[in-house]
Chains A and B, each alone.
Chain A
Amino acid sequence: MTFVNAVMALGAVAFVVPLAIHLLFRSRYRTMDWGAMFLLQDVVRANRRRMQWHQWILLALRCAIPILLALAMARPLISSVQSMAGKQPVSLVLMIDDSRSMSAGARSTRAIEGVLDLLDSMSRGDEVIVMPTSQLSAPVSIGSVIDAKSLVKELRFDASAMDLTATLQSAVAACRRATNPYCRIVVVSDFQENVLAVNESASMLAVIDSIGERLDQFDPRPQLDFLDVSASDEDANVMANVLVESIEADVPAVMAGHDVPIVATIRNDSDRPVTNLRANWLVDGRVFETETVEIQPRGTVSLNWRVRFDTPGGVSVGLAIEHTDAIPADNRRLHAIKVQRPIRVWLVDGEPSSEPLQSETDFLKVALSPFAFRSAEVGNRMPTRSPRQRSSERFDDATQRDVVSTKVMTSKSFVKELANVMGNDDNAGEDHPDLIVFANVARPPQMSAQKSGNPNSESDDLVTRYLTTGGHVMFFDGDLVDGAAWNESGWLPGKLEEMVDAEGGPFRIESPGARVAVWEELGSDEESLFDSVEILRRRSLTIDSKSTSVLLKSQAGEPLVTTRRIERPDITGSIGGDATGGKPNAVIDESNSQVPGGHRGGRVVQFALPCDTAWSNLPLRPVFLPMVQQLVLEMAGGDEQANVLPGTAMVIYPDRHIGGGKDDQVWQVIRPDGASQTYVTSGGNPLVYGDTHRVGAYRFGPAEDGLGPDERALNAEDVSADEERSSGELDPSVQVRVVEVPASESVLRRASPEILAECDQRLRANRYGDAEGLVAAAQRERFGTEIWRPLLWALLAVMIGEVLWQQLKVTKPANRFAGAGTGVAS
C-alpha cells in the first residue's frame, strides 16, 4: 500500500486523543452514598466482563475515527496481490488492427483517439512498441511515447484481416524484447468474425492456451487488454456498405492482341437498394468505360467488360464505384494482368514424316495453332497471295489469331537449339520456348559433357535446367518411347511402365469435371466431351511422388494425364538490396521460407497416350483442341502470382525475353502512392519485394536506361481508348503486381461473443469498450486503487456506530419502574 499524501497519514497518531480521554475519564468520578448496593453489586458481578468488552469496543471505535480520517486524507493506494509498477517504467506493446474493417464508421477514429489517450496517461520514461497487425513480421522497434504517437497518427487502416493468435504471439515476442520488466499488451481491434479461426476453434483455443502459458512465464506477468472499438458502433444505416467484391480475367492467360473478358462483382451489403450507381472500368488507374447499375438490398451484380492489349506487358485493370458508404476503400478493386506475347511451343517430334498428318506432332500442331493451319490450307489453294498479305489479313481479325506459335524439330536439333537459348547469349531471349512438347521421343535429349563445357559430368541435362528456370514440358507417350531411359530423367510425374492394350472394349476417360479447373468447361460428370474418346492402348504409370497429381484418368481409375511442379532452389537468399544502401527490401520470416509467388520452377504434364491416332481417337475428337489449348495457356500463363494480399512478399523475375543476363539488375518500383524505389539484384536472381502493406498496383521495371516504369507506364497510358477498346501499347519490361484486401474483410460482422469471452478467460485478459475504461484500468493497475472513498464511508459508519453503541445500547428510556411492578395501586 502506498499513499498519495503520505504526510497526512501521520495524523493517525491522533488516536491517542480518545485514548487519553478514555484513561482520564476512568480516573475521574464522583462519590455517592448508596443504599441499594446489593442490587448494584449483583449487576456488576454478573456483567463485569461484558462491561469491559463494551468499554474496549467503545474505545476501539473512538480510536478508529482519527485513524480512518487520517488514512482517508492520505489517499492510500492498494492493489491485488500482483505487484504494481508504480513509478517504474513500463513497456507498452500496442497491437493495432489496421485492417480495412477498422475504417468503417468511426472505428479508426475511436481507435486512434483511444490509443492517444492511453499514451497520454503514460509516464515519460515508459517505452512503447507499436505494431500494426498487418506488419507482425516487421522488426520490433522500441520507441518513446512521442514516437508512438506519431506512428499511431500515421496509421492507415487498409490491410487484410487481423489474425488474433498471430497477433498475440507477436505481442508476446515483443514483450521478450522489451527492456522494462513491467509489460502491458493492448490489442486494439474491431474483433470481426475473420479475426478468429471459427472453423478451427478447438485448435485456436489450444494456441490461445499456449500463449497464456507463455505469458505466465513472465515475471511479472504482462497484463493483456483488448480495446474493442466496434462495441459502440453506429446503427445499421451508417454501417451500410457497397463494395467491389471481385474482379478477374476470365481466361487462363491474357494474350496480346486478344480480347480479355473481365468479370467483376459488386455487392450491396445494406438493407437499402442502390440505384444509379456509377461503375468505372479502370486500366492502370485511368477510367476507360463507365456503367450505371442498380443493386437490390443484400444483392450482387456481375459486370462484364472486354478489353484488348496489343503488346505484351504488365497492366492493372479495375472497377471503381462512386458511392458513399461505411468503407470507401472497398469501392475500388484492381486486378493485375500480365499480357503475354504468343506462346512459343517447341514440338520435339520423335517420329517425323513429310506426309500430312503422319508426323507424330501434326495433330497437336493443328490443335495449338488452328488459324495458322487454316491459312496454310488457304494458301495452298490460293498460291497467288503473298505471305505478307496473308499475315496482314490474319492479324486484322483479333478473334482469328493464334495464341500459340509452334516450332517442330527433331531430337537432335532440339538439343542444339535449346543449348543455344539456354546459353549466355542475350539475344536468345526472343527464341526462348515457353513450352517444350516431347512426342513419342525415344530418349530424353542430352548434351554431351564436352559440349556442355562441364568437365565434372558426362552429360548435362538441359531439360532439367530448362525446368528449374521456369520452363514447362509436355510429354506424350508412344511406341518409340524407351520407358527406362525416360524414368532416369527424374522429372516425369509418373514412372513409365509397360503398355496396356484394351481387352474387351476401349478404355474410356472419366470426366474431370470441376477437379481440373482449366478443363471444367469440357464437360460435367453427366455429359462430357471426353465420353467419345476411345483408347485402345495406354501406358501404365506409377505415381510415387507426393507432388504429382492426376489430371485425367480412365473410368477404371488408371492415370492417363499427370502433372507435377519442378521445385526451384530456395530464393530466400536472393532478396534484392536497396540500391542506395544495400538494405534488404523484403522481410521474410526465417521460419517461413515459402514466399508466395516465388516458385518459378516449371511444370511437367505427362500423357500416357501419344498425340497421334496410334493408340486412341483423342486427336480426332472435338475435345482435343480445347483441351490442349487450355492446358498450354494455363501452363504458360499461370506461373506467377500477380495479385497478392497486403504484407505478402512479391517475387519479380527478370524478363528473360528482354534481359536476364548474369549482370546485376537495377529495379525501379513505383508504389501505389507514387513513391519510387530502386533496388539491385544479382544477375538472374528475382527481386523479392516485401513492403507490400499498401493496397494498390505496384509497377516493377528495369531502371538501367534511366527511364523507370512510371515514365514508361505513363507513356503507355497516354494512348487513349479507341473504338476497339484497346488500351494501346504496353511496356513489355514492366511487371505489375496488385495488392488487394479480400472482400471478406468488408463484411462487418462481429466475432462470436462466446468465443471472445472464452479467449479472454483463458488469457486472463480484460476487454474494454471504450478508451476511458482502459485508461482508468491501466492507471489503477499500475498505481493502485485509491480507497479514500470507502475509508470515508467506514469513518461515517464508525462514527454512527460509536453514537449508537454508547446511546442505544447503553441508555434506555427512563421511568421503566412505574410499569415494571405488579400493577399501579390505582
Chain B
Amino acid sequence: MRLADLFRARDVSRIESLRLVARGAVEGLAAGRHRSPNKGSSVEFKEHRPYVPGDELRNIDWKAFGKSDRLYIREFEEETNLRCMLLVDQSGSMAYGGDRAVALTPDASHSESSRKSTATSPGSVTHEPPPSWWKGTKQEYACGLAAALSYLLLSNQDSVGLMTFDSRVRDYVPPRMLPSHLNLVLTTLANKYRGGETDLGTVLRQATVKLPRRGLVVLISDGFGDVESLGRSLTLLRAERQDVIFLQILDPDEVNFPFRERIEFRNLEAANETEIIDSRVVRDRYLESLKRHNAMIAAACRRNRVDHLMITTDMPLVDCLARFIAIRQAGPVSGAVSAESLQSKRGTPQ
C-alpha cells in the first residue's frame, strides 16, 4: 500500500500542512517542537534555582548575583519530538460498510454511490469522489485515518508507531521517526484480521506495557465493546501520562438505522449468530441504546481527559482530521463531527 493509493496529491499536501501537537510534555529522543519534562538548551527560559556545587558556571545568572549577592542558575525548557502510537481496531464490527460495502468497488463506479449516501445526510455537503481504495467500511476509513496521521507526524519529525488489534494485539510497529518508516506502517495497516470481537480494555492494557515513555496514543475504533473496561484502560493510560485521543468511527447506518423491512442481522464478530428483526419495530429502541452507549463512552473519555471524536464514514477523511486538529488546539475535544460543522469550518487555516 502506498500513500498515493490512499490520498490524492491535494490531500497529501493538505495533510502536510497540519500539525499535531502534544497537549502535555512528552519524552522524545530527538529535538522537536513538543514540550519535554526535561530542562534543556532551548531559548525558552523556565526558572532560577540556587547554585549548588558542580553546576556549570556558564549557567550562573550574573546579573541576578549582582542584584542579590547570591548565585542562581538559569534553567531553560527542553523541546523534543513526539512519540505517537496509533491503535487501530480491526475487529469484525469494523468491517461493516452497509450497502456501500457491497456496491462500491475499487473502480470508478463507487463514486456515484458514495455521493448518494452522503447526500442523505442533513445539510448535505458536496464532497469529492473518494479514492479508489475506499469501499466504505469502517476499517478502511480507520486505516485511512491512521495513514494520514502517520504521514502527518512523520512529516513533523515525530515518531509514529502502530498497533492493530481486535480481541488482542495483532501487529505492532514500534515508533520511528524515519520517513521510510511510513511504508512499514502502511504495509501493516493493509493486513486484515476479520472476525474477532472488539475488546478495547484488554488491548489498551497490553498497549500500556509497550508504551514506557510519555507520548501520544491515538485510538481509532468503533468503540463497540465493554465501555467500563475501556474506561478502566483509559485511566491506566492516563496514569502513564500518555496523551490519549479516541477517534470513534461509525457507519451512518449504525447512527440512523434507516432500515424498514424485516432483516436477518448476522453478527460480524461472531459466526452463526443471527437475529431476524422487524427493523421498524426496534428502530427507536436501538437508537436509544446507541445513544446510551455513546454517552457512556463520552463520559469515560471526559472523566479521563481523553479527546473523543465520533466520525461517521460518510464524512471526508481529511476534512475530519483537519477539523479535529483545529479543535484540539483550542482545547479538549468531546463530541461528534457533523456535516454542518465541516461546512462551516472548511478551509480554516491550520
Contact = CB atoms under 8 A, between A and B. Distances in A.
Interface of A: 25-26, 28-44, 46-47, 51, 54-55, 806, 810-812, 814-818, 820-826
A424 B84 CA distance: 158
Contacts of A37: 93, 265, 267-270, 273, 275
A54 to B, nearest CB: 6
A816 B283 CA distance: 11
A428 to B, nearest CB: 117
Contacts, number: 156
Nearest to B92: A35
B256 A826 contact: no
Q: 10 tightest CB-CB pairs across the interface, nearest first?
A: A35-B93, A826-B341, A29-B262, A35-B96, A825-B335, A37-B267, A820-B291, A34-B265, A43-B285, A822-B298
B276 interface: yes
Interface string B282-297: 1111110111011100
B108 interface: no
B295 A38 contact: no
A825 B265 contact: no
Contacts of A55: 278, 281
A821 to B, nearest CB: 5
Interface string B243-276: 0000000010011101101111111111001111
Contacts of B266: 31-34
Nearest to B94: A35
A826 B323 CA distance: 9
B265 A32 contact: yes
Nearest to A51: B281
Given A35-B251, A35-B269, A817-B256, A823 B96 contact: no
A185 B184 CA distance: 108
B97 to A, nearest CB: 9
A32 B283 contact: no
A34 B266 CA distance: 6
B333 interface: yes
Interface string B317-347: 0000001100100000111111011001100
Nearest to B342: A826
B333 A34 contact: no
Interface of B: 92-96, 122, 138, 222, 224, 251, 254-256, 258-259, 261-270, 273-278, 280-287, 289-291, 293-295, 298-299, 302, 309-310, 323-324, 327, 333-338, 340-341, 344-345
A30 to B, nearest CB: 6
Contacts of B122: 815, 818
Nearest to A38: B224
A522 to B, nearest CB: 108
Given A35-B92, A35-B269, A806-B280, A821 B294 contact: yes
B341 A825 contact: yes
A231 B147 CA distance: 97
A43 B282 contact: yes
B26 to A, nearest CB: 24
B305 to A, nearest CB: 14
Contacts of B291: 816-817, 820-821
Given A33-B95, A40-B275, 12 more contacts: A35-B94, A35-B95, A37-B93, A37-B267, A39-B224, A44-B277, A51-B281, A814-B258, A817-B256, A820-B291, A822-B302, A825-B309
A33 B268 CA distance: 6
Contacts of A32: 259, 263-266
Contacts of B334: 822-823, 825
B289 A824 contact: no
Contacts of A36: 93, 96, 222, 224, 254, 290
A821 B289 contact: no
B281 A40 contact: no
B256 A35 contact: no
Nearest to B320: A825
A826 B337 CA distance: 8
Given A35-B95, A817-B287, A54 B281 contact: yes
B309 to A, nearest CB: 6
A35 B255 CA distance: 12
6 contacts: A37-B265, A818-B338, A820-B295, A821-B295, A821-B298, A822-B302
B304 to A, nearest CB: 14
Contacts of B294: 817, 820-821
B287 A816 contact: yes
A812 B92 CA distance: 29
Given A30-B263, A31-B264, A814-B256, A821 B336 contact: yes
